[in-house]
Amino acid sequence: MNDTFSIHEDIDFQRKTWIAQRVTWAIMALIVLAAIAGMFGGTMSRVERRESSGRLSVTYERVQRHLAPTQVRVSILAEGIQSPSVQISDSIGKVVEQLAVMPAPRLSTLHAAGPIFTFDAIPSVGGRLDIFVELVPISYGSLAGEIALVEADGRPYASVPISVFVLP
Amino acid sequence: METVVRAAAIYLILFVAVRLSGRRTLSELTTFDLILVLIISEAVQQGMVGDDYSITTAALVVVTLVLIDIVLSFVKGHSPFMQKVLEGVPTILVDNGKCLTERMKKARVSEDDIMESARQLRGLERLDQIKYAVLEVGGHITIIPAEQPRRGD
């Protein structure tokens, strides 16, 4: 400390601060790399889950963010099915806001196990029907459920479990 | 409750990011710093209010942030240690005309930065005219000129 006026320097504390800064910079770089790798959601966290017989597959983001819109693609092998019906389990349905289902379902039904959407079969390449569901998670944390193909009476005959983690 | 938590969380994240990014960041608003300030303010706004644009939420956010500021200034006033943690400490970078190069490197301050401050603040031309150059907690550099020899000494 200078004797003509006081500079309240604390070089030991300052050295510790410099170390803390450099650690923080490294953490920031890791956060950005993790984001690029999809750990905070986005395209890089998309996964596809298939039902064993191949009749149903679901593509979705494994890590999602609270109130951020996300799209789930449900791909159905619609050949031979007159009016395919897709059910989103209630454990998912009650913690998301559904914005849009494309193509628009012919019929939407409330069911104890979750909402059921019935579509007109649309001819497509290889007999597959792709349904896009825009969702907005309104809850945090782990969400687990399933998306299923169901009969007219609501009994599932093919299902895919899905598991997501919603960040705040 | 969620509004208060959001506002406090954003405040904490911004505080840590700016405090630990290094003092030179944002100390003087260069073009890069101005862009950063503008973009950061836009990025955090939605995080604080979510999709709620009510006057009530806006008021809660303002009150929460102001209260955090008051609490922190109270803490700083009563704890010298917390004042150091929250604001940092000044650091001498030039001592009697001699650059303390290790400190300058850690603080990311060059000799050119010091001489710019010396010219701007004191009209000094050379390093040996500087008694102390101090990197202050706000990120700016203050210059204490060397004592001039008296005529006849």
Whether the CB of A125 is below 8 Å from some CB of chain B: the reply is: no
Best of A10, A12, A14 to mutate (most B CBs within 10 Å, chain B): A14
Whether the CB of A83 is below 8 Å from some CB of chain B: the reply is: no
Spatial distance between the Cα atoms of A146 and A91, rounded to a whole number of angstroms: 8
Q: What are phi and psi of A75, to 5 degrees?
A: -110, 120
For residue B36, give the DSSP letter.
H
Of the partner residues A14, A20, A168, the one whose CB lies closest to the CB of residue B91: A14
Q: Are strands A116-118 and A85-88 parallel, antiparallel or unpaired?
A: antiparallel
Q: Are strands A116-118 and A107-109 parallel, antiparallel or unpaired?
A: antiparallel
pLDDT at B152 over 60: no
Count H helices, E strands: chain A?
A: 2, 11
Residues B5-8: contacts with CB under 8 Å, at least 24 apart: B6/B47, B6/B48, B6/B49, B6/B50, B6/B61, B7/B48, B7/B60, B7/B61, B7/B64, B7/B65, B8/B64, B8/B68
Torsion of CA B87, B89, B90, B93, to 10 degrees: -120
- The predicted-structure confidence for B9-63, as pLDDT tens digits, reads as follows 888 888 887 788 776 655 556 666 777 778 888 878 877 777 777 788 888 888 8
Cβ separation B107–A18 shorter than 8 A: yes
Cβ separation A13–B84 shorter than 8 A: yes
In chain B, which residue ranges form alpha helices assigned H by DSSP?
2-19, 31-49, 55-78, 80-87, 101-107, 111-122
- Give the whole-number percent of chain B exceeding pLDDT 90: 37
Report residue A140 as tokens: 């945090």
The predicted structure's pLDDT at residue B23? 61
Q: Which amino acid is at A25?
A: W
Residue in chain B nearest A65 by alpha carbon? B47
> Omega into A103 within 30° of 0, i.e. cis?
yes
Report residue B143 as tokens: 């210059």
Cβ separation A21–B22 shorter than 8 A: yes
Query: How far is A137 from chain B, CA to nearest CA, in Å?
Result: 13
Among B108, B92, B9, residue whose Cα is nearest residue B49: B9
Cβ separation B89–A13 shorter than 8 A: yes
Q: Any residues with CB less than 8 A from the CB of A164 and at least 6 apart, and which?
A: A60, A61, A62, A63, A64, A137, A142, A143, A144
Report residue A56 as tokens: 């149903």
Spatial distance between the Cα atoms of B142 and B128, rounded to a whole number of angstroms: 15
For residues B76-103, give the mean pLDDT: 92
Residues of B in CB contact (< 8 Å) with A are 9, 16-17, 20-22, 50-51, 84, 88-92, 103, 106-107, 132, 134
Q: In A, which residues are within 8 Å of B90 by CB distance?
A: 7-9
Q: What is the pTM of this model?
A: 0.73
Whether the CB of A14 is below 8 Å from some CB of chain B: the reply is: yes
Q: Mean pLDDT score of chain B, rounded to an integer?
A: 84
Q: Enumerate residue ranges in chain A where pLDDT < 70.
A: 1-5, 121-125
ipTM given for this complex: 0.74
Cβ separation B20–A21 shorter than 8 A: yes
